[in-house]
Copies of this chain bind each other. A is one copy, B any other.
Amino acid sequence: MAHTYKVKYFNFTARGEPIRMLLSYGEIPFEDERISREDWPKIKPSTPLGQLPVLEIDGKQIPHSVSICRYLATIVKLDGKDAKENLRIDVAVETLLDLQKLAFECVMESDAAKKDEKNKKLKESVPLYLGKLEEHANKNGGYIALDRLSWADIIFICIYEGLMNILGKNTFDSYPSLQKIKKNVLDVKGIRNWIKNRPETPSSMGPLKFEYDLKQEV
């Protein structure tokens, strides 16, 4: 019997979008429940850890977005074929998440001196991290971890969108292989269809400007 899937998250891309995208890639039907800010306090105590996203599989709630993605990847066959390939995927994913975290912390910092410090760290990290990822993408022919599509590329495309909104539209201009990943991922039918048809979805709450949407590229 087919399993039933429900993604519970806010109406943001952020940590929910890779889950929605992996399910869409696998053409696995899912209920896309978007919790409003007003309803969240009522729903929060019913989640396993007072957090979203949650993936419900046959009614059982699973927390933690990265764990969920790694699991879904095994179902839609976007994991590695062995432990060494999975290590390459995991390293790419942790690198991307670190970069996203640094960028997000800069945006959210309200103290001016600390913001300067965080911006400095971000400015050092962006070329280092993107440069390293570009090297891998170049070696892999336009994929971030393996020589073919993996769930790390799905994480990449979601973070790509977020970074374009935080760091600006020219962030990836000097990284041709990372741009090739974007193209490769957006060429995949399930993902393309998802992005074309997804509801209007801000990249996050908070002080982010929201100008760039992957939708404009599919």
Instruction: Write the residues of chain A forming the contact surface with B, with a CB cutoff of 8 angstroms.
Output: 48-50, 62-64, 66-68, 70-71, 74-75, 83-84, 86-87, 90-91, 93-95, 98, 111, 124-125, 128-129, 132
Residues A64 and B94 in contact, CB atoms below 8 Å apart: yes
Q: With A67-B94, A94-B67 given, is the CB distance from A62 to B87 under 8 Å?
A: yes
Q: Which residues of B contact A66 (CB under 8 A)?
A: 90, 94
Q: Which residues of B contact A124 (CB under 8 A)?
A: 50
Residues A71 and B49 in contact, CB atoms below 8 Å apart: no
Residues B64 and A86 in contact, CB atoms below 8 Å apart: no
| CA–CA, A48 and B92, complex, Å | 12
The minimal Cβ–Cβ distance linking A108 to chain B, given in whole angstroms, is 12
Q: Which residues of B contact A70 (CB under 8 A)?
A: 86-87, 90
Q: With A67-B94, A91-B67 given, is the CB distance from A49 to B128 under 8 Å?
A: yes
